[in-house]
C-alpha cells in the first residue's frame, strides 16, 4: 500500500513540476497566464514523451526494463529540476520587479454565489467518487487490449518486444514495428518496477486514476476557455460545466468508445486517453492559440496509438478546427 501511495505522490508531483516551467515559458512568450490544470496536463504529456525517448533508446540498444527505468528516471528528474529552477528564477526576477499582478487578480475575484457553490461541491463529489470507483480496479474492461500482459512481460527484464506476452515464448514472426514504438506499456512498467507494484495494480488502478485526473484537468481548462473571466457569472458557468462533464461521464457509460466507458473502465488504453484527455486539451489549447500544447497532444497520440502515418485523429480534429476558423473568418471578411 505504501508503495502505491508513493507512486501516486510521484505522479502528482512530477507532472506539476515539469509542466510549471513549460507553461511559465509559454506564458512569457504569449503574454498569457496558465492555470494549475494546464500545468499538470502539459507536464503529464511531456513526461510521457520523455518516456518515449527512453523507450526508443531501450529498443535500439536491445535492453530491458532496468535500462528504460534508469534512462526515463534521469530524463524526468533532469527536466523537472530544470523546469522548477526556471520557475524559481522567474518568480525571483518578478519579485525584484515587484509585479503587482497577483494583487490585481485577487481584487478581480468575485465571491462565489450559492449556485456556484452547489455545483462546485457536486462536481467535486462526483469526480472524487469516480476516481475512487476507478481506483478500486474491479470494473475493468480488457477485451481488445493486452496492456497488462505486455507490462508483465516487460517486467521479466527481457529485452523489449522479444517475448510474446500471451504465451511467454519468444516471438517467431514478430510484431508490427509501429506497435513497438508505443510507449504506454513502458510507462506503466517503469512505475511497476520502480515501486515493486504488480502490473495489474499499475495498469488497472493507478494509471486510470492518473489519466482520469488529467482528463478532468483538461475539462477544467476547457471550462476556463469556454467561460472566461473572473466575474460571478463566468465562475458559475465553469462550475456547472465541470459538474455536467462529470455527470455526463455517468450518462455516457454505455459501450466502448464513449467517454464514460473510457474513463470508468478502460482509462489505461490509448484510445481512452485520446478521447478523455487529448481531445478536450486540444480544443482548449486551440481556442487559446497555445499551439505548443496542440503539438504536444498530436505528438502524444502518435506514441500511444497505432496510427497509419504516425499522425492520428487529433491531427484531423486540429485541421478541422483550423479549417472551420478560416472559413468563418473568410465569411466575416466577405460582406465588408
Partner 1 sequence: MKSFSVLMQEYLTYTSGAKLTALFLTGLLAALAFPQVRKEAGKENRPLLIASGALAVLCLFPPTALLLSWYQSAYYDYRALWSMIPVLPVTALFLTRLFAWILCRWQKEGIHATAFREKYAPPLLLLVLLLLLLLCGDAGYQSWRSYALPGDRATLEELTNALLEQSPEGSDRPVVWGPREVMTYLPMVTNDLRPLYGRDFWDPSLDGFTYDTYPDSLQDLYDWMYAVELQDVFFFAFDWDSLYYTDAASIAEARDNKNGIQSCRAALDAGVDYIVLPGCERTDRAALSYLAEELSLQVIPVRVEEDGYYILFR
How many residues belong to the site for partner 1 (CB under 8 A)? 87
Phi first, then psi: what are they for 172, rounded to 5°? -95, -45
DSSP state of 197: -
Among 308, 330, 333, 334, binds partner 1 (CB under 8 A): 308
Q: Is residue 52 within the footprint of partner 1 (CB under 8 A)?
A: no
Give me the DSSP letters along 83-109.
Answer: HHHHHHHHHHHHHHHT--HHHHHHHHP
Please report how close the Cβ of residue 85 comes to partner 1 at its closest, in angstroms: 35
Report yes or no: 150 and 162 within 8 Å, Cβ to Cβ: no
Complex with partner 1: residue 82 or 328, whichever CB lies closer:
328
Report yes or no: 215 and 200 within 8 Å, Cβ to Cβ: no
Q: Is residue 297 within the footprint of partner 1 (CB under 8 A)?
A: no
Instruction: Map the footprint of partner 1 across residues 231-250, applying CB under 8 A.
Output: 233, 236-237, 240-241, 244-245, 247-250
Complex with partner 1: residue 2 or 173, whichever CB lies closer:
173
CA pair distance 122, 118, nearest whole angstrom: 6
What is the C-alpha R_g of the chain? 21
Q: Is residue 229 within the footprint of partner 1 (CB under 8 A)?
A: no
Among 36, 253, 292, 295, binds partner 1 (CB under 8 A): 253
Report yes or no: 194 and 100 within 8 Å, Cβ to Cβ: no
Please report how close the Cβ of residue 227 comes to partner 1 at its closest, in angstroms: 8
Which residue, among 51, 13, 302, 286, has the nearest Cα to 154 in the 3D structure? 51
Q: Is residue 105 within the footprint of partner 1 (CB under 8 A)?
A: no
Instruction: Map the footprint of partner 1 across residues 108-147, applying CB under 8 A.
Output: 115, 133, 138-144, 146
CA pair distance 37, 48, nearest whole angstrom: 17
Q: Is residue 300 within the footprint of partner 1 (CB under 8 A)?
A: no
- Binding part of the chain for partner 1, among 25-33, 49-57, 83-91, 194-202 by CB under 8 A, reads 194-202
Q: Is residue 205 within the footprint of partner 1 (CB under 8 A)?
A: no
Amino acid at each position: 500500500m505504501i508503495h502505491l501511495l508513493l507512486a501516486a505522490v510521484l505522479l502528482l508531483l512530477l507532472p506539476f513540476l515539469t509542466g510549471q516551467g513549460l507553461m511559465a515559458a509559454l506564458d512569457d512568450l504569449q503574454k498569457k497566464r496558465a492555470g494549475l490544470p494546464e500545468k499538470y496536463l502539459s507536464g503529464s504529456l511531456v513526461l510521457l514523451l520523455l518516456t518515449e525517448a527512453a523507450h526508443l533508446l531501450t529498443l535500439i540498444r536491445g535492453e530491458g526494463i532496468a535500462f528504460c527505468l534508469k534512462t526515463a528516471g534521469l530524463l524526468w528528474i533532469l527536466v523537472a529540476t530544470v523546469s522548477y529552477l526556471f520557475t524559481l528564477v522567474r518568480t525571483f526576477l518578478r519579485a525584484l520587479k515587484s509585479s503587482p499582478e497577483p494583487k490585481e487578480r485577487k481584487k478581480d475575484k468575485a465571491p462565489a454565489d450559492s449556485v456556484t457553490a452547489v455545483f462546485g461541491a457536486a462536481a467535486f463529489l462526483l469526480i472524487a467518487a469516480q476516481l475512487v470507483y476507478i481506483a478500486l480496479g474491479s470494473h475493468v474492461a480488457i477485451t481488445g487490449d493486452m496492456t497488462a500482459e505486455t507490462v508483465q512481460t516487460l517486467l521479466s527484464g527481457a529485452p523489449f518486444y522479444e517475448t510474446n506476452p500471451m504465451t511467454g515464448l519468444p516471438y517467431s514472426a514478430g510484431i508490427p514495428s509501429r506497435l513497438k514504438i508505443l510507449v504506454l506499456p513502458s510507462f506503466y512498467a517503469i512505475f511497476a518496477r520502480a515501486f515493486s507494484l504488480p502490473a495489474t495494480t499499475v495498469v488497472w488502478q493507478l494509471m486510470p486514476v492518473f489519466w482520469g485526473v488529467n482528463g478532468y484537468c483538461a475539462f477544467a481548462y476547457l471550462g476556463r476557455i469556454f467561460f472566461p473571466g473572473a466575474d460571478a457569472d463566468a465562475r458559475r458557468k465553469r462550475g456547472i460545466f465541470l459538474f455536467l462533464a462529470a455527470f455526463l461521464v455517468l450518462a455516457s457509460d454505455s459501450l466502448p468508445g464513449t467517454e464514460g466507458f473510457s474513463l470508468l473502465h478502460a482509462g489505461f488504453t490509448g484510445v481512452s486517453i485520446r478521447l478523455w484527455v487529448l481531445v478536450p486539451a486540444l480544443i482548449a489549447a486551440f481556442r487559446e492559440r497555445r499551439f505548443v500544447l496542440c503539438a504536444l497532444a498530436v505528438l502524444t497520440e502518435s506514441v500511444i496509438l497505432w496510427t497509419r502515418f504516425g499522425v492520428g485523429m487529433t491531427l484531423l480534429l486540429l485541421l478541422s478546427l483550423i479549417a472551420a476558423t478560416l472559413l468563418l473568418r473568410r465569411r466575416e471578411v466577405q460582406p465588408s
